[in-house]
Amino acid sequence: MKILFDGCDFVSRTGPNTFARRLAMQLANTGHIIADPDDYDVVLAFIQTSFPIEQYRAPVVQRLDGIWFSPSEFLTKNVDILTCYRNCDHTIFQSNFDRKMILKLWGEPNVSCSIVGNGIKIDPLKDASKLSYDLLKLRNEHEKVFVCSANWHGQKRLKQNVELFRHLKTNFYPRSCLIVLGSNPQMFPGTDIFYTGNVSHELCAQTYSIADWMLHLSWLDHAPNAVIECMMQGTPVVCSEDGGTCELVRDFGVILKETSRYNFDLVDYDDPPDVDVRQVDRPLPDIVSLGKHADIDIATIGRQYVEVLEEVVGRSRK
């Protein structure tokens, strides 16, 4: 099958583009052709198409990981996404959270739809000798190492991640530290918080591999790559009950309740409500007592995409 990936930048490190690159590599490795604009069997449009749908010579499948849902952006930034939603041949939602939100705001799509999650190649680090000296030093000096990672802005709730870390350190893990990965963090003072800024994917993976827990209280995230990359290293996650992250974490971590549940209305997502970190009233569970997370193997995700794309292509040829 010749698949045209539309609306993707395989060089970019943003969430949708990172996943698009991983998916394209998986499909290519399993015999499918990542097509050029002149010869394709099906279009896989990430979020929206680059051109009006009538200009494509094959069916269009839209992959949606959410829409703009703040009141000031809803009508302006969603125009092309909504047009694609109304006119494509199939919609793939990245999570059940995304599906519920979009169906409430836009109604059922005119065509079939499905839910296929995010994924990554399962390749955890096994050789401790490859870890950086600084990470090994932190690991050896602390009883617990926590990590959080994002391109930081209000929705990502760094302040609440730090509050949760401080709560855990004060009450349960006095010899612990927090590593903050990613760009534009708000700086909170303390000799036990380490800010790395943007680092390579390899160093992120190393950090996840030596951490005991990821703290990811981001509000209304869809299916964050950072969480998937961390779980791939065998590191469990503390997350919020609102958004798609908890669908990934499932039993492989701790899911905190929100003070007020999101009801899928338009909302300013850069001004999220608080999470009461005091609801963690005991030490975090031992990893051996945790259950399973979602299937994040890109091989599984790739097969699910192929099934959807083949069904859409077959339907179009009848």
How confident is the model at residue 4, as a pLDDT? 98
pTM score, two decimals?
A: 0.95
Domains of the chain by residue range? 2-119+298-316, 128-289
* CATH top-level class of 2-119+298-316: alpha beta
CA distance 275 to 257: 7
How confident is the model at residue 78, as a pLDDT? 97
How confident is the model at residue 127, as a pLDDT? 79
How confident is the model at residue 126, as a pLDDT? 81
Q: Which amino acid is at 27?
A: L
Would 2-119+298-316 and 128-289 be classified into the same CATH topology?
Answer: yes
pLDDT digits (tens, 9 = 90+) for 268-300: 989 999 999 999 999 999 999 999 999 999 999
Low-confidence ranges of the chain (pLDDT < 70): 318
How confident is the model at residue 14, as a pLDDT? 86
CA distances from 232 to 58, 125, 225, 246 (A): 35, 9, 10, 15
Share of residues in the chain with pLDDT > 70 (%) = 100
How confident is the model at residue 111, as a pLDDT? 86
Domain 128-289 sits in which CATH superfamily? Answer: Glycogen Phosphorylase B; (3.40.50.2000)
